[in-house]
Amino acid sequence: MSFESELLTALGRADDAWDIRASVRRCFFYDFDGAPVRLWDGVGVMKTAIGVGGPLTLPDGQVIAPTEWLGTRDGEGGNVHQAPDVSDDRDGTAPNYTFGLPFLNREAFDAIKADQAKATGRDLTCYHAIFLPHEGLLPATPLRFAWRLKMQNVDFSEGLEEVEGGTIKRIYSASVSARSGEAGRSRSPGGTYTDPIQRDRARRLGVTSDSGCAFVAKNAQRTFKRVF
């Protein structure tokens, strides 16, 4: 069943928003080169209908399949994954967002820390998953694309944490700075661009050159008259 089918099932014959009983959770895919990370705003491992990215092998040999997403909420309602709300960036604002990754395995931590190219310029994608009332995790939860950002850089930290039985465990975490590909674009008034900003957007999107706005500077201080 698709996300849209699940949504229609949740809506039913409801004619008031208060009659709708369904929740949508965010799912995050960090496309680190060789160390993909899939997280979702829930408890436990969620399995999706489609796989995203490649598999991830943990230090103990466990393989996290492309259809498996690790839950980041604890039993008390807290969320160890720090993910801000992302706004519609088509107005040209496109701010920088900072995401806090709660845990990385040592291999992924060392690999990304040693080579920032494994993160810089790669995608951070958010999907939505819908859940009906009193429904547990399904064997194949449908996903719907929400938005995509470009990772700019990653800051790393590690520390010690006491777990059950007094055991000390080393925790590896990261802070990811990401930005939309719409950065530098403006729709006021009527959609305007500058050549340097457009070239920068093209570079971040992987396009070698975009000279479509090279004429903009030539039109500075000119007056145009529309004739009907």
* Amino acid 188: pLDDT: 42
> To the nearest whole number, what is the mean pLDDT of the chain?
77
Domain that holds residue 49: 3-183
The Cα–Cα gap between 162 and 147 comes to 36
Decide which of 41 and 113 is more confident.
Answer: 41
In a domain, 227, yes or no: no
The Cα–Cα gap between 27 and 129 comes to 7
Whether the per-residue pLDDT at 190 is higher than 50: the answer is: no
In a domain, 94, yes or no: yes
Decide which of 30 and 95 is more confident.
Answer: 30
**Residue 100 and residue 147 in one domain:** yes
* Amino acid 36: pLDDT: 87
* Lowest mean pLDDT, pick from 144-153, 202-211, 216-225: 216-225
Amino acid at position 18, single letter: W
In a domain, 226, yes or no: no
**Residue 84 and residue 18 in one domain:** yes
**Residue 78 and residue 174 in one domain:** yes
* Tokens coding 203: 């570079």
The Cα–Cα gap between 53 and 30 comes to 9
**Residue 121 and residue 13 in one domain:** yes
**Residue 141 and residue 203 in one domain:** no
The Cα–Cα gap between 81 and 83 comes to 6
- Contact predicate 123/31, CB 8 Å: yes
**Residue 169 and residue 197 in one domain:** no
Name the 3-class secondary structure at 72. coil
Q: What is the pLDDT of residues 80-100, one digit of tens each?
A: 888 998 876 665 567 789 999
Whether the per-residue pLDDT at 165 is higher than 80: the answer is: no
* Lowest mean pLDDT, pick from 29-33, 107-111, 182-186: 182-186
Task: Band the pLDDT of 27: cuts 50, 70, 90.
Answer: very high
**Residue 108 and residue 175 in one domain:** yes
**Residue 164 and residue 211 in one domain:** no
The Cα–Cα gap between 65 and 84 comes to 26
- Contact predicate 30/40, CB 8 Å: no
The Cα–Cα gap between 148 and 145 comes to 8
Torsion region of 3: left, alpha or beta (phi above 0 gives left; psi -120 to 50 gives alpha):
alpha
- Contact predicate 65/53, CB 8 Å: no
- Contact predicate 32/112, CB 8 Å: yes
Q: What is the 3-state secondary structure (H, E, C) of 127-193?
A: EEEEECCCCCCCCCECCEEEEEEEEEEEEEEEEEEECHHHCEEEEEEEEEEEECCCCCCECCCCCEC
Amino acid at position 109, single letter: F
pTM of the model: 0.69
In a domain, 64, yes or no: yes
In a domain, 225, yes or no: no
CA atoms within 13 A on the CB side of 61: 0
In a domain, 69, yes or no: yes
* Amino acid 93: pLDDT: 64
**Residue 126 and residue 192 in one domain:** no
In a domain, 228, yes or no: no
